[in-house]
């Protein structure tokens, strides 16, 4: 699977990024993939490459580029629960400084860059994200309703986007929640907000999962949850980017 390390011009500098795409020479639908808080690392490269193998150009930006290139902090090969709190403590000030204004400015730059890549075809794109990346994907879809046809967010605080952002989304959406992230009442509240925003969406709790279940380099990883994630993501992209 061909891959590239890229630099994306933004109003605040340059964001380093990883891209994966099919070997075939024709153009492919574009997918903007936002990493979780731990950023671009082997598991994200593997996931981007797996998605690219289904016929997509997948761009994964380092959304914390203002704090330095990938890796923004030193990461162990496995992010176990014994090290997770200390890593999150390092990352949280950077995440808190990543304001909605910055998110939207960067999203403009990422999508503009994606559209200019020679391997990317004309037409709508998809955005997907994990953990905080799912919130960034939600903001991106809200800010670019004419361009983003599909939105997928996994173990993500999507409700934090707010009702105005949700109401602006025209993409078909899937929200895959960790069982440990939402109480039944909180899920009901979120789904009512999605209904009020008139989204075309699915929203479901993945049984037996905890926050971060898609990431195979963490103790949260759940193989059944990851399979369900692909079972939801791939049909969504197929019907919106290929048959929409």
Q: Is residue 18's pLDDT more than 60?
A: yes
244 pLDDT tier (thresholds 50, 70, 90)? low
Mean pLDDT of the chain: 96
Instruction: For residue range 160-216, list pLDDT tens digits in order.
Output: 999 999 999 999 999 999 999 999 999 999 999 999 999 999 999 999 999 999 999
| Over residues 115-142, mean pLDDT | 97
Kindly write down the DSSP assignment for every residue of the chain, as one continuous string. --EEEEEEEETTEEEEEEEE--SSSS-B-EEEEE--TT-SSHHHHHHHHHHHTTT-EEEEE-TTGGG-SSSSS---SSB-TTTHHHHHHHHHHHHHHS-HHHHHHHHHHHHHHHHH-TTBPSS-EEEEEETHHHHHHHHHHHH-TTTEEEEEEES--GGGG-HHHHHH--SEEEEEEETTT--HHHHHHHHHHHHHTT-EEEEEEETT--TTTT-TTBTT--HHHHHHHHHHHHHHHIIIII--
Q: Which domains does the chain have, with CATH numbers?
A: 3-242 (3.40.50.1820)
Q: Is residue 1's pLDDT more than 90?
A: no
What's the pLDDT score for residue 40?
98
Query: Which pTM value belongs to this model?
Result: 0.97
Q: Is residue 132's pLDDT more than 70?
A: yes
What's the pLDDT score for residue 29?
97
């Amino acid at each position: 699977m061909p891959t590239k390390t890229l630099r994306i011009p933004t109003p605040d500098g340059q964001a380093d990024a990883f891209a994966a795409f099919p070997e075939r020479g024709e153009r492919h639908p574009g997918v903007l993939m936002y990493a979780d808080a731990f950023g671009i690392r082997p598991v994200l490269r593997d996931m981007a490459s797996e998605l690219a193998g289904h016929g997509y150009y997948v761009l994964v930006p380092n959304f914390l580029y203002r704090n330095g290139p990938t890796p923004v902090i030193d990461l162990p090969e496995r992010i176990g629960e014994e090290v997770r709190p200390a890593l999150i403590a390092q990352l949280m000030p950077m995440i808190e400084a990543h304001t909605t204004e910055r998110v939207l400015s960067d999203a403009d730059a990422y999508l503009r860059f994606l559209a200019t890549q020679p391997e990317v075809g004309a037409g709508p794109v998809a955005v997907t994200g994990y953990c905080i990346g799912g919130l960034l994907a939600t903001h991106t879809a809200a800010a670019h309703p004419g361009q983003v046809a599909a939105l997928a967010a996994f173990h993500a605080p999507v409700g934090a986007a707010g009702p105005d952002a949700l109401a602006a989304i025209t993409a078909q959406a899937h929200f895959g929640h960790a069982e440990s992230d939402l109480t039944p009442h909180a899920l009901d509240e979120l789904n009512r907000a999605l209904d009020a925003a008139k989204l075309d969406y699915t929203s479901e709790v993945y049984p037996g999962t905890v926050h971060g279940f898609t990431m195979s380099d963490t103790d949260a990883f759940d193989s059944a949850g990851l399979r369900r994630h692909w079972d939801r993501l791939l049909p969504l992209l197929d019907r919106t980017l290929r048959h929409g």
